[in-house]
Amino acid sequence: MIPVRFEIITIFPEYFIQFKSIGTIGRAIENGLIQINTHNPRDYSKDKHRSVDDYPYGGGPGMVMKPEPVLECLDSLGEPAPFRILLSPQGELWNQNLALHLSQKTERFALICGRYEGFDERIRIAGADLDISIGDYVLSGGEAAACVVIETMSRHISGVVGDSESVTSDSLGGNLLKHPQYTRPPEYRGLRVPEILLSGDHRKIQKWREEMSIENTKRKRPDLFTCKDDLKGDKKSVCRGSEDPDEF
Ligand code: ADE
């Protein structure tokens, strides 16, 4: 099996050392299912200070990432070019559906991490197939976002999560949150495990789980539930990330 490759464009390659060696991601690398490589735009800077940022034209606070080091770093990845994802608070909001779609799209991805106050717009225009935001807040750089994107996509790659059912039953699969879960002991601090889970009746347990999953979603994330109804009514646009992946 060919590993899925993630090429991270970052001026902080050391950020990913722990990420690559721990847990699900560490095992997936060890088992040859994924590869994570880092590429530093500083190595493509032409000036003696190896600078990758500059003042914004028109003035204003902060520095902007220069186009040449990032675009030349991307060029160095060769042909065929990977699917290029720019991590930015202006991007499409990341979610489970988008993670699933992208994980099936191709076998090589570039993740472009920004620092400073933002990117020269030509990086976005000439260097990205898709902009992704992991949430409506501003990080100091795209590195944490790259970890989120890689980890959520990797969970959908065959063999990465031991029991594939645990991925399909994850919260947010099909826009539903997961049902509540319990393990031993059957009673703790006066709180009892629901009787039905101790009954051994798998058909009833399955039905209970489905009902709880719907109830959980309605109560905690009514927005997801609305999205589910809209999908049935063919109002796809309100449900971000459920679109046809070939659109990108
Ligand atoms: N870089 C800075 N903020 C970000 C966000 N919310 N998502 C992705 N990349 C970012």
Quick check: is 170 catalytic? yes
* 155 belongs to the catalytic site: yes
CATH superfamily label, 171-238: tRNA(m1g37)methyltransferase, domain 2 (1.10.1270.20)
Residue with tokens 């947010």: 172
**What is the CA(232)–ligand 1 centre distance, in A?**
31
Domain map of the chain by residue range? 4-154, 171-238
List own/partner pairs for 200-203 with CB under 8 A and 24 or more apart. Answer: none
CA 131 – CA 84 distance, rounded (Å): 9
- Whole-structure pTM value: 0.91
Q: Do domains 4-154 and 171-238 have the same CATH topology?
A: no
13 C-alpha to center of ligand 1: Å? 17
pLDDT digit of tens for each residue in the chain (248 aa)? 899 999 999 999 999 999 999 999 999 999 999 999 999 999 999 999 999 999 999 999 999 999 999 999 999 999 999 999 999 999 999 999 999 999 999 999 999 999 888 999 999 999 999 999 999 999 999 999 999 999 999 999 999 998 877 787 788 878 899 999 999 999 999 999 999 999 999 999 999 999 999 999 999 999 998 766 554 444 333 343 344 444 55
Q: Which of 68, 107, 170, 230 is catalytic?
A: 170
CA of 241 to the centre of ligand 1 (A): 17
Taking only the tens place, the pLDDT of each residue in 146-205 is 999 999 999 999 999 988 777 877 888 788 999 999 999 999 999 999 999 999 999 999
Q: Residues 176, 220: contact at Cβ < 8 Å?
A: no
Active-site residue, 117 included: yes
84 is catalytic: no
CATH of domain 4-154: 3.40.1280.10
* Closest ligand 1 atom to 114 CA: 1
Q: Whose CA is nearest to atom 10 of ligand 1?
A: 88
Q: Is 144 exposed, middle or buried (0-12, 13-18, 19+ CB in 10 A)?
A: middle
